[in-house]
Structure 1
Amino acid sequence: MDATARPSFLSWNWTSPKMPGVQDDSYAAWFFQQLQDFRSEGHLVDVTLCAEGTEIPCHRLVLSACTDYFRAMFRGGHPESRKDKIEMLGVNGEALESLVTYAYTSNINITMDNVQSLFEAANMLQVKPVEEGCEKFLKDKLSPETCLRTWALADKLSYTCLSAKARSYALKKFEDVCETEEFLQLPVDFLKMYITDEGLHARKEERVLEAIIHWAIHNLEERQRHLEEMLACVRFSSVNQSLLKNIIESDQVLSDALGIKEQIKKGSRHARPRQIHQEEIILVGGCTDHGPANADFKTEANLFMYRLNLRFDVIDCKPVPRFLKHMESSAVCVVNSDIFLTGGGEYPTQAFRYNSSLNYWTKLASLWEERVCHGMVALNGQAYAVGGMDPVDYDRKLSSVEVYREKTKSWKKVKPLKVGVRNFGIAACCNKIYIFGGELASTTIQCYDPSQKEWTVKSMQLPEPALCVRACPVNSKIYLVGGSFTCVHRYDPQLDCLEKMTAEPLKSWDHCSAFVCGSEIYITGGLSKLFHHYLTTPHARVQCYDMNSDTMTMGFLKDLPIPLCSHHAVTLSKHYS
């Protein structure tokens, strides 16, 4: 097309309500083409950007329309507004050329080779659409080979959510990350920050030591001076002594260079072993779907118990015992690494215990009351069954509370709730039990003090109805997720105040389960809404809330083995030999 030729269409934009506007989208494409032609011909070009020897002729008007950075630069008062050539310091030449091309075409090609320089340039020049494109690209491309550089880049550019996701990925995939070339290139400060993070998923302390040695040998001459500092991060009291002996005896030169003998002597300083990786996830109960062939999206009971590691790999999967095959609306809690399960389904008074060391279920004494849609919590080594509803009379909300006495092997009733509720959040924190919402008291917080043997209703009211929420206690605070909540909330029991966090679910979390691991809350499964909310079906996605950065991430962990809703997901301590 001739640069001066008009497109062969009419474009009307009437304001009269009698004549609706008519607009042809091809005008935008034609207009962009005109701008490119003007630029390539040098027509009306009034400025040249220079970066790393690259000169890019362009128009002030186009640059100002694309980004506030250039709009501010070319307005009066800045020396650059009068210059014909502007040196763009700190910007990669190729990235700058790509951004200028984007300003003229609205198109840009993001690759692994150019994403870092492009992200930094777009951040500096405030080209928001390209920044967001780079952020999404890096999130989608997270892998053991990319997570460390993405973490560092996101920190540098203050992209909190991306940094949190890359950090969480790197910590969980440590076993894979330390085998990459990217790990060997880490600066000493970043490596130290990485391996000392309490969230590091190193199954054994030997793996941390091996990773440091591998990193040091990669450039021993340069890195030898940092070894004392790095080896001080290893918790030698948890390292296999035969491995240490083998390192010392097999290569005297290496052991002397690493200074490992001296560090072993100081090993008692790190007597506390890493704990976060010494846990397993137990999935039990709830409902799943019939699979893709099911057209009406009906659910069926989950008849299996899954043991997973913290990467959500399946360690074991077994059918539940016959007496546990109907656990709908039951409740669980963990006491001394054993799971207590009560009520629900066809056995609303029955109680069971799962012995994690023996991998075996046993039946306990029956509850005093039939309970469904109730809650359980562990406090001071005892299991409490709280509230719920009568399985025969759904309108009858229970206020009764029972505690299991290990000495008598029986349940004993204690002081009842102030308000009977079902489908609520429950947590033990600061030596008290807290109840959040539930039907009939959806914005109420109730508190039980065992020393006073009394329930009270807190003056603090929840900002929105809390139905089927999950309450997760962490460091004298309680985080509320799932159910009817639209975002994460944090409750401070000592101040009786509630703070609304910024993180929102990335996937539906109605009828989900949640558990705490380190500084993160894992939110598993739930119900997905289909067809304009008329139908729902369980899903298998795992969302991860990082309490340190107040961000929600999803996608770098495996899904649950099956879609689940209204299930129980808990963690149990697991010690590896």
Structure 2
Amino acid sequence: MEIVPSVRLKLNPDSNLQDIPHLDIGGPLCDLRVRGTEQQEGIACHRHVVSSQIGYFRLLFASGMKESRQEDIWLRNIPNDNLQALINYAYGLEIIIDNDNVQSLLDAAIFLDVPAVADACWAFVESQLNETNCLMVYCLAECDTRTRPRLEKKAKAMVFRHFSEISQGQDFLELDKDKLSQILRSDLLSVEHEDEVYRAVVRWTDHDPGSRKLEVPDLLKHIRYLFLSPSILPVFLGLSNAVTPKRDEHDAEKANSLSDLPKSLAESIFGSTCRPRRSYGFDNVTVCVGGKNRGYRLDCVDCFNPLTSSWSKMSSLPDTVNGIGMAVMEDDTLLVCGGFNVVQDGISLVTKRALRYDFSTNNWNDIPELQTARGTPCAAAIGGRVYVVGGCGSHNAQWTDYVPMQTVECYDPMTNCWTYVAPLPIPLDNFAMVAYDDRLYTFGGYNADGVLDAVLCYDPSLDKWTELAKLPTARHWCSASVGSSGLIYVIGGVSGAMPDMDTESLSCVEAYDPVANQWHKKDDMHIPRYNAGIACLNDKIYVLGGVSQQYGSAIEMYDEATGTWAIYDSQLPSAREAFGCAVIGIPKG
């Protein structure tokens, strides 16, 4: 397993101890000798230098064990060249990370606890990630608990997308059973037909049949046997009966009868093996829900498929509404709540209503109402629950004013009820929010202090909000989406007071790195806009509609690989703003 050759990466620590007299590697004042795997004469160095930069030595020398007093230390599992590189780093010398040493140097940096070198190795690996090494990277990422979550997710997504090719390679044959099970059970596994999954399991087993035969039962349960071809199904059932005696002679008849059941009923009875994988059962589309067009509220639900540049319709909402909160749950269920849905005495009223879309009936069904009526909230799903954050309410029953809100509500589908969780640190309205790595991130917004540059993060495991690095450009009415790279893109919006048709919209784009807590400037959009829809689909970021000097129906597409924007050929069926926008999988046909 090796990384594809590429340019070399150089790393220089801030300090350079070589400038201090008599404080260099092998110098006259060295009080330690470290030997690597090859048992050569070792590297003469200074205890206080290596312990200041290498965690392993720092803990060893402070432990009080007899090894802590030794002048000669032998690290049998660290190759000499990697040990030399890490000691060079401790002294402020330049080290080189390239395709030949990155994996072994990463292993050494993790073992000896040198975070800066490990991070540089991970960055190099990420820069070289492709379909030939993504499986190795996906497995390798588990060895370092500090590794960037976005790299593991990016590698896993690439494994799912290129499974057909990857399952033919040598790395696939070296997978352990648990990791293979993680891959096989995913709905996101991209295959043209379930037969490919079965053949991959057989190939993996045949690589070492003596020890892997006992693992087969656990792997077969991840195969969606309802979707196996007629030529493969009897072979699958025969193998399954051979290794799992519990199966009876009626399995084939049962499997055939399942094909006559509605998919939703079959799944409820027999579990996920009766659910099609999204690659052959679903199309990934961007769905646009409700919104407003030139002052008129909408109830339409439109789906955009960028592969065909086509639009289709889902069942309309029960009422016209704009400024909703919308979340996509793990099973691609859509949940919408809040928003503005009626006008009374010239005032737009907000609602507590919450709806859930049922794919099996193509209908919107009511679920329990929010505890607090709110307009323009943000909503997102994490951990199987939906969180609805902020928005605007009123100080009085007549709704003569709008005030930003701090409250946050959580919907649990298991209990079918809403509960309050930790409130926002500050009231927020007209902000953007995404879910990433089991946390919520909010960007910008508006309250009594004006337009905000605040960035907040909510951790549901702690029920706590924290402040992060501020937005470089304060804004509200902006949009945000997580790119395939793991960066969070914040686009457009308004930097002034409340927007109107004469307000100048923003075209600026800024990307937030949630791991480094840093911001990066990106190329501006071609069309400045606020209140736009945004979604990441097929490794591209799409920005739809919104308002500039006029209501817009244009779509722009951002390519993370090239860092460029392009006006997309297709447009929204009609101009639209303040609508729900997300990516879902819808059944083909």
Settle same-fold status: TM greater than 0.5.
Answer: yes
Q: Shift of residue 49 of structure 1?
A: 1.6
1:444 aligns with 2:407: yes
**Partner Cα separation in structure 1 for residue 165 and residue 464 of structure 2:** 37
Amino acid of the structure 2 residue aligned with 1:140? S
1:558 aligns with 2:539: yes
Of the three residues 111, 117, 131, the one matched with 2:118 is: 131
| Aligned equivalent of 1:328 | none
| Aligned equivalent of 1:313 | none
Q: What do residues 3-35 of structure 1 show as CA deviations (whole Å, max 9, x unaligned)? A: xxxxxxxxxxxxxxxxxxxxxx99948617975
**Partner Cα separation in structure 2 for residue 555 and residue 187 of structure 1:** 32
| Aligned equivalent of 1:5 | none
Equivalent residue of 2:294, what SS? coil
Moved more, 213-222 or 146-155: 213-222
1:423 aligns with 2:376: yes
**Partner Cα separation in structure 1 for residue 87 and residue 72 of structure 2:** 15
Q: Shift of residue 238 of structure 1?
A: 2.3
1:188 aligns with 2:177: yes
1:486 aligns with 2:436: no
Of the three residues 457, 464, 476, the one matched with 2:426 is: 464
Distance 1:400 1:77, change over 3 A: closer
**Partner Cα separation in structure 1 for residue 371 and residue 181 of structure 2:** 51
**Partner Cα separation in structure 2 for residue 360 and residue 559 of structure 1:** 20
Distance 1:138 1:279, change over 3 A: same
Q: Shift of residue 348 of structure 1?
A: 1.0
Q: Which has the larger radius of gyration?
A: 1
Q: Shift of residue 442 of structure 1?
A: 2.4
Distance 1:403 1:260, change over 3 A: closer
Equivalent residue of 1:423, what SS? coil
Q: What do residues 405-452 of structure 1 show as CA deviations (whole Å, max 9, x unaligned)? A: x9xxxx9xxx99998754322579999996733361321357999xxx
8 Å Cα contact 2:35-2:74 kept in structure 1: yes
Amino acid of the structure 1 residue aligned with 2:390? F
Equivalent residue of 2:455, what SS? coil
| Aligned equivalent of 1:550 | none
8 Å Cα contact 1:513-1:567 kept in structure 2: no
Equivalent residue of 1:155, what SS? helix
Amino acid of the structure 2 residue aligned with 1:60? H
Q: Shift of residue 556 of structure 1?
A: 12
**Partner Cα separation in structure 1 for residue 167 and residue 472 of structure 2:** 31
Distance 1:115 1:567, change over 3 A: farther
Of the three residues 106, 121, 126, the one matched with 1:119 is: 106
Q: How does 1:7-86 map to 2 (within 5 A)?
A: 28=16, 31=19, 35-36=23-24, 39=26, 43-55=28-40, 56-61=42-47, 62-74=49-61, 77-86=64-73
Amino acid of the structure 1 residue aligned with 2:376? N
| Aligned equivalent of 2:230 | 241
| Aligned equivalent of 1:289 | none
Distance 1:201 1:129, change over 3 A: same
**Partner Cα separation in structure 2 for residue 483 and residue 88 of structure 1:** 50
Q: What do residues 194-225 of structure 1 show as CA deviations (whole Å, max 9, x unaligned)? A: 32346544564223212223333445566455
8 Å Cα contact 2:391-2:429 kept in structure 1: yes
Moved more, 94-103 or 562-571: 562-571
| Aligned equivalent of 1:150 | 137
Q: Shift of residue 471 of structure 1?
A: 7.4
**Partner Cα separation in structure 1 for residue 62 and residue 411 of structure 2:** 64
Equivalent residue of 1:54, what SS? coil
8 Å Cα contact 1:279-1:573 kept in structure 2: yes
| Aligned equivalent of 1:107 | 94
Q: What do residues 208-254 of structure 1 show as CA deviations (whole Å, max 9, x unaligned)? A: 21222333344556645544443343221221223446x689xxxxx
8 Å Cα contact 1:387-1:420 kept in structure 2: no
8 Å Cα contact 2:286-2:583 kept in structure 1: no
8 Å Cα contact 2:29-2:46 kept in structure 1: no
Equivalent residue of 1:574, what SS? strand
| Aligned equivalent of 1:325 | none
**Partner Cα separation in structure 2 for residue 431 and residue 256 of structure 1:** 39
Equivalent residue of 1:242, what SS? coil
8 Å Cα contact 2:53-2:114 kept in structure 1: yes
Distance 1:32 1:203, change over 3 A: farther
Distance 1:444 1:183, change over 3 A: same
**Partner Cα separation in structure 1 for residue 61 and residue 429 of structure 2:** 55
Moved more, 123-132 or 534-543: 534-543
Amino acid of the structure 2 residue aligned with 1:437? G
**Partner Cα separation in structure 1 for residue 386 and residue 30 of structure 2:** 72
Amino acid of the structure 2 residue aligned with 1:537? S
Q: Percent identity?
A: 17
TM-score, structure 1 normalization:
0.59
| Aligned equivalent of 1:527 | 491
8 Å Cα contact 1:47-1:59 kept in structure 2: yes
1:174 aligns with 2:166: no
Q: Shift of residue 130 of structure 1?
A: 0.9
Structure 2 residues without counterparts, runs of 5 or longer: 1-12, 256-269, 358-363, 393-401, 446-453, 496-503, 516-534, 543-555, 559-576
| Aligned equivalent of 2:586 | 574
**Partner Cα separation in structure 2 for residue 504 and residue 217 of structure 1:** 52
**Partner Cα separation in structure 1 for residue 537 and residue 386 of structure 2:** 35
**Partner Cα separation in structure 2 for residue 176 and residue 502 of structure 1:** 43
Q: Shift of residue 182 of structure 1?
A: 1.6
Amino acid of the structure 2 residue aligned with 1:386? G
Distance 1:346 1:555, change over 3 A: closer
Q: Shift of residue 525 of structure 1?
A: 5.3
Distance 1:390 1:514, change over 3 A: farther
**Partner Cα separation in structure 2 for residue 422 and residue 428 of structure 1:** 18
Q: How does 1:491-506 map to 2 (within 5 A)?
A: 498-500=463-465
Aligned length: 455
| Aligned equivalent of 2:299 | 351
**Partner Cα separation in structure 1 for residue 581 and residue 200 of structure 2:** 32
**Partner Cα separation in structure 2 for residue 402 and residue 219 of structure 1:** 57
8 Å Cα contact 2:300-2:316 kept in structure 1: yes
Q: What do residues 38-93 of structure 1 show as CA deviations (whole Å, max 9, x unaligned)? A: 62xx6344332222223322122432333243244346833234434221143233
Q: What do residues 176-200 of structure 1 show as CA deviations (whole Å, max 9, x unaligned)? A: 4324332122233432333234654
Q: How does 1:373-388 map to 2 (within 5 A)?
A: 373=323, 386-387=339-340
Structure 1 residues without counterparts, runs of 5 or longer: 1-24, 250-254, 285-331, 334-340, 450-454, 546-553
